[in-house]
Amino acid sequence: MNKNTVLQLSLSALSEEIKTKEISPVEVVRELLDRIQEVNPVVNAFITVLEEQALKEARQAEGEIMAGNCRGRLHGVPVGLKDLIYTKGIRTTMGSKIFQDFIPDRDAVVVQKLRKAGAILIGKCNTQEFAYGPTGDASYFGPARNPYNPAKMTGGSSSGSGAAVASGLCFGALGTDTGGSIRIPASATGIVGMKPTFGRVSKTGIYPLGKTLDHVGPMTRSIRDNALLLGVLAGFDHEDPFSHNLGNEDFTLCIGESISGKVIGIPTSFYFDRVDEEVKEKVKKAIHVLEGLGAVIRDIEIPVLSKVSYTQLKTLQSEAYALHEEHVLSRPQDYQPPVLERLKQSAEARGYEYVKAQEIRQEAREAFNNVFEQVDVVAAPTVAILPPDIGQTEITVGGQAEQVRSALLRLTEPACVTGLPSLSVPCGFSSDGLPVGLQLIGKPFSEARLYQVGAAFEQEASLSTLKWDVQPLMQRS
C-alpha cells in the first residue's frame, strides 16, 4: 500500500492489516509522524507529539506480532489522548499555563488499558483549558482549528482529539465529556464520538472538571472503530467511586444487524427548537434514512428538558470552582480569559442552587426512563449550529441572539445531566462544507444498541469522515 492508502484506513481495517502482517506498525508510525509534521501546524491538534516513544512502541509491537503474540485489535494502532489524561513521564498540560510543565508519576487507568492492549500513543491532543468550555479555542497552546475550514472552531473541549482524528493524524483518540465535550467536536469535525454511560469508563488519573458530570470516551472515523475502542476502555475500577462493575462487553456484536422494528423517538420540542435550518434539514434526512431501514419513528415529549441547562450550569459551576478556587485566587493571570470569566461566575453559585439542580436532575432521569419504556433510541441534532468562527462569542439562531457557548452546549447537556450514553454520528455537510452531527441517546448501558443504529445509518449514508486535503484547504484560504 502507498502512504495515503495506509493512513486513510479505518482503525478496524488497519488492525486487520497489522494482525496479518501486511503492514508494519513501524511504517505506519513513520508515515503518521510525517503527516503530523505537515498538517499539525495547520490544525494545532497536538500539544505534544511522542515521536521517539511512538517509534519505540511500534518496534516492540512489530516484534511481538511477528512472533505470533498479538494482543488484540488495538495492537500496533496509533491513538491520541486528550491532554488532561495522565501519562507517566509525559507532560500533561490541561491546555494551561499553570500545568505547562506538569509530568504525572502514573498513567490514567484508560492509558493502562490502552498500553495493555498494545496501542501506540502518538501524542497528547490540544484541549480547551481545563476542559472548561465547548468552543475549543481557549487553550494556552492556541486554538485547535477545524480541518474543514481552519478559520472555524473544532468545538470543545476535546478540540485536538476531534481535529487529529478528522485530519488523519491518528486512528482514534480519547476525549472527555462534561457537557458535550466529545460529541460537540465530533459533530463539528465530521467524526464519530461516544459519551458512554456515566461510570462505564474509569476517570481515575484524569484531571476533573465536574466530578458528577465527567465522562471519558472514544472519538474515531467509524462506528466499528468506536465500538472497538470502547471495548478496551470500559470496565470496573475500584479507585473510581462512580465506576460500575458490569464485566466485559463486545460493543461490536450488534453492528450489522437490521434495525427494522427499532423504535426511534423524536422529541417534539427542545431538541429542534432554535436550530440552524441546515442542521435541522440534515438531521431530519438522517431520520428518514433510519425510517427507510425499517425503524419506527415516534414523536415523544420530554417536558423537563427546558430546565436541564440550569441543572447543568449550577452543578458544573459548583463542582468546577471547588476544584479551581486555589488557583483562581493565587494565579488568576495565568488562566485563559474566557475560562477565568466562567470560573469567576462559578464562584457565585449558591448551595441551594446546587441542591435544586440535583432535584431537577433526578426529575430528568425519571423523564428519560419513562421515554425509554416507549422507544429504543432518541434521535436529535448533536449541536444546534454549524461551527462558528474562532473567537466568535455570539450567534443568531432562529432569529434570536445567543451566546455561542450556550448554542454549542444546549443539546448535549441532557445526556450528561442524566448520565445516559450518547453517540454523535456524521450525517452530512452544510452548503459551505461544514459537518453536521446526528445525536443518538439510549437508556443506561445501551451503547451496543446505539452502535447498531448508528452503523446502519453510516452504512446507508456512506459519508466520508476523513478530511484528507487539510493543507490544500489552508492554502486556498
473 pLDDT more than 50: no
Residue 462 is a catalytic residue? no
Find how far residue 268's CA is from the centre of its chain.
26
| 3-state secondary structure (DSSP) of residue 68 | coil
How far apart, in whole angstroms, are the C-alpha atoms of residue 441 and residue 412?
Answer: 10
| 3-state secondary structure (DSSP) of residue 365 | helix
Contacts of 183 (CB under 8 A, 6+ apart): 177, 193, 195, 382, 383, 412, 422, 423, 424, 437, 439
**How confident is the model over 242-301, as pLDDT tens digits?**
999 998 899 999 999 999 999 999 999 999 999 999 999 999 999 999 999 999 999 999
What's the whole-number mean pLDDT along residues 304-321? Answer: 97
Cell 505537515 sits at which residue? 38
Residue 15 is a catalytic residue? no
Q: What is residue 469's predicted lDDT score, i.e. its pLDDT?
A: 55
Please tell me the total count of domains within the chain: 1
Single pTM value for the model? 0.96
How far apart, in whole angstroms, are the C-alpha atoms of residue 242 and residue 201?
Answer: 9
> Nearest Cα to 221, choosing from 412, 27, 463?
463
Half-sphere exposure of 390 (CA within 13 A, CB side): 20
Q: Which amino acid is at 266?
A: I
How far apart, in whole angstroms, are the C-alpha atoms of residue 147 and residue 130?
Answer: 23
441 pLDDT more than 90: yes
H helices present in 372-436, as ranges: 404-409, 413-418
Q: CATH code at 129?
A: 3.90.1300.10
Cell 465522562 sits at which residue? 215
Find how far residue 153's CA is from the centre of its chain.
15
Residue 181 is a catalytic residue? yes
Task: Out of 12, 15, 82, 422, pick the active-site residue.
Answer: 82
Provide the pLDDT confidence category of residue 477 given band limits of 50, 70 and 90: very low
Task: Out of 181, 202, 243, 422, pick the active-site residue.
Answer: 181
How far apart, in whole angstroms, are the C-alpha atoms of residue 70 and residue 167?
Answer: 28
CA distances from 156 to 82, 184, 253, 289, 385 (A): 11, 6, 30, 28, 14
Domain of residue 142, residue span: 3-476
What's the whole-number mean pLDDT along residues 48-66? Answer: 98
Q: What is residue 248's predicted lDDT score, i.e. its pLDDT?
A: 87
Asked whether the bond before 157 is cis by omega within 30 degrees of 0, the reply is yes
